[in-house]
Chains A and B, each alone.
Chain A
């Protein structure tokens, strides 16, 4: 009777087949894991460990913010060659911002679009801006019928001009869809984005009925001398690629008491800005005395940017 011979691998010596397969499996598993996490090794060139471990804006202490802003300022210097100051602008207590645009006066010249582009450090190649001005046929408020690329002397016959930007809705659909709470509404009504917390899923962009959000398909390219050095963490600092952004009523200006850049640039005086909680403010006078309306009122978003004709 033939003696049964145990099968053994020459290298491993007297090891059972089961153990050998386990070893092979473990090796393959480890290799697959290493391959799976390999993008992390490339990450360290672009994302520092501090940035990777950075907490949500609302959880940051004063010291955290100081360190983060210093890091971001250094990164801007390195990438753009520009010396910038990044600050934290908390909302002013007792202020709720309101904005109104007089469509009888607006002539569609687009200076607001340009002012926003420069103020908020937008990508130069795409002429990105938080404001779109639609040339609209008279008799409709349907944005689909508007055209934002008109290129002729304005105002044209039988047209009116509709500047559209973020309305800082009281009931913002973009906020409720965000899966990571990277965007939220502050006490003065401004809907802000923590660009470092945003994962770039673009749900908010899809949720906004006004096309007010923009996505950074690429890192903004701006010559050093054109970078606006007065920057806010939640507003006009240069946004990382792959994040969403939107109009923030120039909070780095307005929370210091100043007017938004688009208002100051408007050569027709069509824009009125102020604190809706101050009964003596200009915006309150407009809301009280002009027949103001909002876009897509039926959606219940309750915009705080109003339009009126007079």
Chain B
């Protein structure tokens, strides 16, 4: 997550000034035009945002450990789900398991395509209601992004700088909040490759053959 909260008071102003001086002396990333946007406008920005509180960036998180569908329905027709620990307190962990298809009960249909990982690369054999990092420490489900970031460092770095993953809301946090998705909103952790999609909306250009079928 980006750190947008800046130190306040004198330090703030000093940093701002440094930023202004720094920016005006640096060649901009994109080709500079004749107009001197950089210096002039950064000054305005500083004055503009100085007294404003920044709105929060909300990052989607899973609420907690998932519930497992038993395949049964209760008296009201609702599916019966159970906690991971309902079974895993009595089942001995098997570190060799790499796919749901190897199991006799539960998880059979689980499609797994995530490198050479085994179930217990990420799930915690000591407490199945949590996850486990590579160093053996426990990780709660809502913090699952830390788990992904162990291997996918490049994506995690991009994410930390707002250059990976979908978002909604305000680009200007001084005017409103922002909501960001987390890794497993888009990537199924068991088969993380982004799925193929079918384009649903195509232009109907006047000079191309297919669009006008049946219309004229």
Residues of A within 8 A of B (CB): 92-96, 98, 100, 102, 105, 107-111, 113-114, 117, 125-129, 132-133, 148-155, 170-171, 217, 254, 256-259, 263-264, 266-269, 272-282, 284-290, 292, 302, 304, 306, 310
Known: A149-B203, A269-B181. A257 touches B161 (CB 8 A): no
SS of A interface (majority): loop
Which of B4, B197, B206 interacts with A280 by CB under 8 Å?
B4
Determine whether the beta carbon of B203 is less than 8 Å from that of A257. Answer: no
Residues of B within 8 A of A (CB): 2, 4, 19, 22-23, 28-31, 33, 37-38, 41-46, 48, 154, 158, 161-172, 174-176, 181, 186, 194, 196-206, 208, 210-211
Residues of A within 8 A of B165 (CB): 269
Determine whether the beta carbon of B163 is less than 8 Å from that of A287. Answer: no
Q: What 4 A-B pairs are tightest by C-beta distance, nearest first? A: A257-B175, A282-B162, A94-B45, A94-B44
Of A95, A269, A290, chain B has the most CB atoms within 10 Å of the CB of A269
Determine whether the beta carbon of A93 is less than 8 Å from that of B48. Answer: yes
Complex Cα gap A264–B186 (Å):
14
Complex Cα gap A279–B28 (Å):
10
B158 and chain A: residue at smallest CB distance? A310
Which of A128, A258, A287 interacts with B176 by CB under 8 Å?
A258
Complex Cα gap A117–B204 (Å):
12
Complex Cα gap A284–B22 (Å):
14
Residues of B within 8 A of A263 (CB): 167
Interchain Cβ contacts under 8 Å between A and B, 10 examples: A94-B43, A107-B194, A117-B201, A126-B206, A154-B198, A170-B33, A171-B33, A258-B170, A258-B171, A282-B161
Given contacts A128-B203, A153-B197, 20 further A-B contacts (CB under 8 A): A96-B37, A107-B194, A110-B199, A110-B201, A110-B202, A113-B201, A113-B203, A117-B201, A127-B201, A150-B199, A171-B33, A269-B165, A269-B166, A269-B167, A269-B186, A278-B42, A278-B45, A282-B171, A286-B161, A310-B154
Complex Cα gap A280–B170 (Å):
15
Q: How far is the CB of A288 from chain B (nearest CB, A)?
A: 6
Residues of A within 8 A of B201 (CB): 110-111, 113-114, 117, 127, 129
